[in-house]
Structure 1
Amino acid sequence: MPTPTLDLYSLPGHDIRRLHQIAVALFMQETEPFGVTPVQYAALQAVQNAPGIDQRTLARTIGFDTSTIAGVIDRLEARGLMQRSASAQDRRVRLLTLTAAGQQLVENVVPAMLRAQERILDPLPASERGEFMRMLAVLVSSRQEPDRGEV
């Protein structure tokens, strides 16, 4: 039996992947002067929101793989934006805080990041944006695993 012809744009996974590409491109356009990626921004913001968070919890919080988050932190640390310190309770656990430069970067990048978010939603009528965000939250939260933040 021949494989059916499918319209890629009728598949939610395809459109979600394309929307992700668009969202990253818009984020990078708006935040270019700051040299920060969406994942780096998420890590910086999460640490600013919870100073002293450990690497595993950070990974879970931003829905990132625990084995890969170390590289993200390495790059932020090399730029002098984030620092690791050993936990007093467990020397194997690394606690994260932002440096003064990291705090300043987050403060400076927020307006550009918010412009990117607005540009992502611009094609939707203002009256439908809340509903889109509600449905998006349902899709994301229903697929989260406790260990990784995702399936």
Structure 2
Amino acid sequence: MSVFQERMKELGLTMTSVQFAAMYAVKANPGIDQARLAGVIAYDRATIGGVIDRLESKGLVERRVCDHDRRARIVSLTSEGDALLDKLVPLVRDFQDDILSGLSDVERAEFLRLATKAADAGNDLSRAPLILDKKA
């Protein structure tokens, strides 16, 4: 089991890292539609609906039809989702330290720099590339 899922289980939550990323991206991008959300978190557009379905069934997000494109669904956090995310963000930041516990501060910075470089370089090759331009 991943560190993320272990910690969520300890908190009594059934939250996946993808669900957390989706909620975080929704909060950071008010008015985002479901298709753009998939790109922002580099997740497959064909399966993001299932992620949103599960979050919606937990009462954490809601969807509505986009005013200017009836095919698009706008995703937003509910008040419960917003409150939960506010509680989880500092906890997730704290256990990131556990994930990198074997590294010194200098090594962590270098690891994160290299991981970012590798991810950016491979982004275009991904079947679900991260959308780096917020206007996309």
Query: Given the two structures, how large is their TM-score scaled by the length of structure 1?
Result: 0.79
Pairing 1:149–2:126 present:
no
Structure 2 counterpart of 1:51, one-letter code: P
Structure 1: runs of 5 or more not aligned = 1-23
Instruction: Give the drift of 1:126.
Output: 1.4
List aligned pairs for 1:94-105, cutoff 5 A.
94-105=73-84
Aligned residues: 127
Structure 2: distance between partners of 1:136 and 1:46: 20
Pairing 1:93–2:78 present:
no
Match of 2:103 in 1: 124
Alpha-carbon spacing, 1:111–1:30, altered in 2? closer, same or farther (3 Å):
farther
Match of 1:9 in 2: none
Match of 2:134 in 1: none
Deviating runs (4+, > 6 A) in structure 1?
A: none
Structure 2 counterpart of 1:35, one-letter code: T
Instruction: Give the drift of 1:31.
Output: 2.1
Structure 1: distance between partners of 2:42 and 2:120: 11
| Secondary structure in 1 matching 2:75 | strand
Structure 1: distance between partners of 2:120 and 2:105: 23
| Secondary structure in 2 matching 1:51 | coil
Identity over aligned residues, as a percent? 38
Counterpart contact for 2:66–2:74, Cα < 8 Å = yes
Pairing 1:113–2:92 present:
yes
Q: Which residue of 60, 66, 69 maps to 2:45?
A: 66
Query: Given the two structures, how large is their TM-score scaled by the length of structure 2?
Result: 0.87
Structure 1: distance between partners of 2:33 and 2:110: 34
Alpha carbon RMSD of aligned pairs, Å? 1.6
Match of 1:28 in 2: 5
Structure 1: distance between partners of 2:70 and 2:127: 21
Instruction: Give the drift of 1:93.
Output: 0.5
